[in-house]
Structure 1
């Protein structure tokens, strides 16, 4: 009997990064892939969503909530309707994967309150789905707040957890969540040897800690990096352009996140280069970051700045590979950017202390300093490809380990 490996995919970035793992597990003769997707709470918890969400505008949010409710009713009679209308789920289905489970958990608002409540709401749905699917192991990726819900649910159901990219250090709440998931997990996959040493410092069993690299390197190594003509309407990708992706820092105040956004946008404004500006994640503070971006975009009417909330994973990697400089605080600039050799300017504290290659230049949260850092990186040009985070065989390595290990549920602390 094949071992059932459940992989939760709750945001577009994690799906893009884990595709090589999905493919390797799917093809492995001793493993069976189960996929769980996370979707907005409005679909299956309409009244709970109304009560607990904090949208930036109820006027614009309410029509979407009612549409989600309508799709939920249609889905009752025609299963699959919700998944075909959800951005993340639709992309997974279009890539040929079967979705075994969906969990409605994301409350609207991008605040600390909605993050915490989404974890609680998620645990209830995840427990029900884990009991139904009965996986032999749950593969939890990285450090997102929704992954904490998965790890807690699996832990209390005595299901072994395999954790990917533990041992990293960085800024914001992500680091605390990452280390907490490590302590709930039984099998550990690290991107670097330095991360492996940190996992061992936390008392984990050395026999169950494996340095395998970072999964997205597998994908981008095989990807055709040529940008399609229509990937961002109006942007001439044959000319140098900037890629901007700025996430909130959950441990900092609304005012700090808003100021960070203003300073980054001020630097972009001063440079006047064609720019592709992507929407942030939904962490606490995203409401403030999003508001500043919208105000800046609407007031400036800049013809050379192109905004999009979502890019398909492959198009995001193509944009990162071809950008003259990437600016913001995404870990992709550090991991995938190192492999591409893309010059990047990392702003603020969100990625502080994270292992990084030579393509990164850090900048304080001040428009003038950010502008100077961008100019330095553009002048420098592309960096040699850095294999710090792997050389392109992470997915198969993870699948092989999952097939052969059978950890005890009761963990023991291992002294260093």
Structure 2
């Protein structure tokens, strides 16, 4: 976004929706404005309900809002990242409005989530694809996209690690208004939306596993606006109330503070994609819990474990050993070198948009 804003041949428009406009989730649209961006449209769509019906209604509201925004702003191309339900709404509105879509992070797999189906649906709606790793590019091609439209640029989240001046321990302690002891554990758990069960059981297992590391300082980040996400957040608040001397909870840290925290952490625990993407690039071990990230490529610094308190505690113990920290310190990652944003900008400014809407399915010869 910064690169496009500075480019004389581009006009950047910013449309914000979902949790970014919710005080409950940190009102993070303010961070965009603080960074110097103008928000051209705010799509209010998030209902107070996190039930399946509430999520579906939020998607409907978002589709209406994006349709109106695209009609007013008249963009020549829309860039969207990921696999959340709000982005499916944006893609639907752009597709009907005949606005080309550039999609970031296609071809990935998260088999425990509805995000899996949303992500692959976005691939079929999109006209330009920015993938984070070679196997993901191959999967986009397998979905019938033309090779000349699929660009393996790496994960743009790594660009921030390369360019941001991350905070040290003292600065981060002042920011969080707490002392960060050792070991420092950062934990995040989001609902597994295809499991069909409440996240309470799995969340209890994670909290019990964390409780078994008695001397640790624990920073818990709250769940997204996914189905039953508020159940997770209520359990976090109760856990903090029981351990106020060494556990804190945060709704939204922002990029700088969150990446700084990941770098300082002795271990990242939970089922967030940041444990797969950003933490390895920062040299921090990850304990990945359950099925939410099943199907994603794993760097060597990621330990997978079941949703069991005993197994989670054992995995944390392994991650905290000097031997495993040595593995993590190599910062080996298959997700690029932190130059994705520059590559994406050049492609967006140079790709011809004439006839781009007329997609042809790219068949791959294979043996049954």
Is the TM value for this pair above 0.5?
Answer: yes
- Is 1:409 the counterpart of 2:357? The answer is yes
Note if contact 1:40-1:107 (Cα within 8 Å) is conserved in structure 2.
no
* Deviation per residue, 1:232-274 (Å, 9 max, x gap): 222325x33100111111112343x111100000011111211
**In the alignment, is residue 250 of structure 1 matched against residue 193 of structure 2?**
yes
Tell me if structure 1 keeps the 8 A contact 2:21–2:28: no
User: Does residue 351 in structure 1 map to residue 331 in structure 2?
Assistant: no
Aligned equivalents of 1:335, 1:42: Cα separation in 2: 25
Output the CA distance in 1 between the equivalents of 2:307 and 2:10: 46
CA RMSD of aligned residues (A): 1.9
Aligned counterpart, 1:386: 332
1:343-395 alpha-carbon deviations (Å, 9 max, x no partner)? 01000100001012111000100000000000000012251112411112111
Unaligned runs of 5+ in 1: 1-21, 44-63, 66-84
> Does the 8 Å CA contact 1:25/1:32 hold for their aligned counterparts?
yes
Residue equivalent to 2:303: 361
Residue 276 (str. 1) matches residue 219 (str. 2): yes
Q: Give the unaligned 5+ runs of structure 2.
A: none
Q: Is residue 2:44 matched to residue 1:98?
A: no
Asked if 2 retains the 8 angstrom alpha-carbon contact of 1:212 and 1:390, the reply is yes
Aligned residues: 353
- Contact (CA 8 Å) 1:145, 1:177: kept in 2 or not? yes
Question: Partners of 1:236 and 1:285 in 2: how far apart?
Answer: 30
TM-score normalised per structure 1: 0.81
User: Please, what TM-score do these two structures have when normalized by structure 2?
Assistant: 0.92
Deviation at 1:23, TM superposition (A): 1.2
The aligned residue for residue 37 of structure 1 is 16
* Counterpart Cα distance in 1 of 2:263 and 2:54: 34
Q: Structure 2 matches for 1:172-251, cutoff 5 A?
A: 172-225=113-166, 226-227=168-169, 228=171, 229-236=173-180, 239-251=182-194
Alpha-carbon distance between aligned partners in 2 of 1:252 and 1:297, rounded to the nearest angstrom: 26
Q: 1:162 — aligned with what?
A: 102
In the aligned structure 2, how far is the partner of 1:134 from the partner of 1:321?
Answer: 41
Residue 7 of structure 1 corresponds to none
Distance in 2, Cα, partners of 1:91 & 1:40: 13
Match of 1:338 among 261, 280, 290: 280
SS in 1 for 2:174: coil
Query: Alignment partner of 2:14: what SS?
Result: strand
- How far off is 1:310 after superposition? 1.5
Helix, strand or coil at the partner of 2:292: coil
